[in-house]
């Protein structure tokens, strides 16, 4: 069984976060350490530690990450100029929290990579 993370507590509203979107499949909230003017994390409500843990049953939920990203990019006013979606997997991929999450980053030219 996967271990819960801080994201599970945000989903359940046990700790405060600037939640921008939540439905039965996903939750989206502002990153507390933003790398750009708009930096939002979009997470499945189901605890999946890494991309390697996704199963066929999870496809609709994972697709929802992208449709919510599209909605939030429009709401943030960054859709037209562009934005970046990032999903990290395991230590070499830069993953820090072991609950799959997509970074929606934009609001300025990002260049070829975001280096942290």
What is the three-class DSSP state of 59? helix
CA distance 5 to 22: 18
Catalytic residue among 39, 99, 101, 103: 101
Give alpha helix (H) positions in 58-115: 59-76, 90-93
Phi-psi region of 9 (alpha: psi -120 to 50; beta: other; left: phi over 0): alpha
Please indicate whether residue 39 is annotated as part of the active site. no
Catalytic residues: 101
């Amino acid at each position: 069984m996967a271990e819960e993370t801080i994201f599970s507590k945000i989903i359940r509203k046990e700790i405060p976060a600037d939640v921008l979107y939540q439905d039965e499949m996903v939750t989206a909230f502002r990153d507390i350490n933003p790398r750009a003017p708009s930096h939002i994390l979009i997470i499945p409500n189901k605890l999946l530690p890494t991309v390697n843990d996704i199963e066929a049953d999870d496809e609709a939920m994972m697709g929802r990450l992208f449709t919510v990203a599209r909605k939030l990019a429009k709401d943030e006013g960054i859709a037209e100029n562009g934005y970046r979606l990032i999903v990290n997997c395991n230590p070499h991929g830069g993953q820090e929290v072991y609950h799959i999450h997509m970074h929606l980053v934009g609001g300025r030219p990002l260049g070829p990579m975001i280096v942290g």
